[in-house]
Amino acid sequence: MPRAAIEHPLFEQLIAFRTTYPKQTLPYDGLQWKYHISGKGKPALLLLPGGLGSGEAFFAHFMELTSRYTVIAPYYGRAEDIGQLTEGIIAIMEHEHIESFHVLGQSFGGLVAQALLSKVPHRIDRIILSHTTTASPDPAAAPSQKRIIRIRKLIRIVKMVPRSMFITVSRNKVQKHFRSMPAGEVPFWQWYFEELIRSQTKQELLAIYQCMLNLDSKPVPPVSPLFDQSNMLIIDSPADASFSEEERDAVRTQFPDADFLRFKHAGHLSIITERKQYMKEIRKFLIS
């Protein structure tokens, strides 16, 4: 482990998070659903992670938000269908006796958030879609067809390559998101994301890809027109290396009356690279 990572304050926060908020496990639908949760009795906020599928990835934000919210951060595990994934998350909320909640979905988590909104709109108070695309694409449209080809190729590659090569490729892919990060934080996040990559099994990554593939062939039903889009915030960046401009615009087209926030140079991970401003904006939105 790099000394610069150990000596960074974020490392102490990570250890404190793991000690204070250990993983909980809920058996449901033949799978083991893992998640972190803070103290109860406050408005609930569900944090949905991206493609690494780890609720712990929100550790810094989680700890900052616990004074005001009951925060829940699930793991995706081996759910291979977006419907199964949303059912598992709803089961967690019901197990914890949480009826209504806010949602923040980052990247792939933004797709899961839209699936939840489609399924249980009456239970969601405010929702933030961060650096994502639409979960209700036209399966016959060019972007969907391109994404299907890309994901099928990724699935073949992940199945074929040795785990060591898979870790190296994934690590190099993540590196591009650190370009706009404060230099002092780069060693910690480089180390931490490699830890996340190493902890995600091939089966878990393949399950995420399968969810995405299923979504392009069987999109999420449109959200009820009764949902008030003023309760939605969409966050993006033109420097996002994970979603094309066409993909980013698709979610704004779907929700034209949602609030919109753009981080000009932040890239895909403004939640980390612009953490202070990001947290200020989401707090303001959630209490407005």
Q: What is the pLDDT of residues 235-248, one digit of tens each?
A: 999 989 888 899 99
**What DSSP letter does each residue of 22-86 carry, written as one string?**
PPEEEEETTEEEEEEE--SSS-EEEEE--TT--GGGGHHHHHHHTTTSEEEEE--TT--SHHHHH
Model pLDDT, residue 249: 94
**The Cα angle at residue 105 between residues 71 and 248, in degrees rounded to 5:** 160
Residues in the chain: 288
φ/ψ of 223, rounded to 5, equals -70, 145
* Top-confidence range, 66-80, 149-163, 171-185: 66-80
Residue environment code for 46-77, b if the CB has 16+ CB neighbours within 10 A, otherwise e: bbbbbbbbbbbbbbbbbbebbeebbbbbbbbb
Q: Which of 186, 197, 171 is nearest to 272 (CA)?
A: 186
Structure-block tokens of residue 240: 């996002």
CA 66 to chain centre: 18
Q: What is the pLDDT of residues 249-277, one digit of tens each?
A: 999 999 999 999 999 888 899 999 999 99
Q: What is the pLDDT of residues 154-180, one digit of tens each?
A: 899 888 888 788 788 777 777 777 777
The whole-angstrom separation of Cα 283 and Cα 191 is: 28
Stretch 54-83: mean pLDDT: 95
Residue-averaged pLDDT of the chain: 92
Q: Residues with Cβ < 8 Å from 144, sequence gap 6 or more? A: 137, 138, 216
Model pLDDT, residue 14: 97
Tokens 């304050």 sit at which residue? 9
Q: Which residue has the higher pLDDT, 95 or 141?
A: 95
Weakest mean pLDDT among 67-71, 84-88, 140-144, 154-158: 140-144
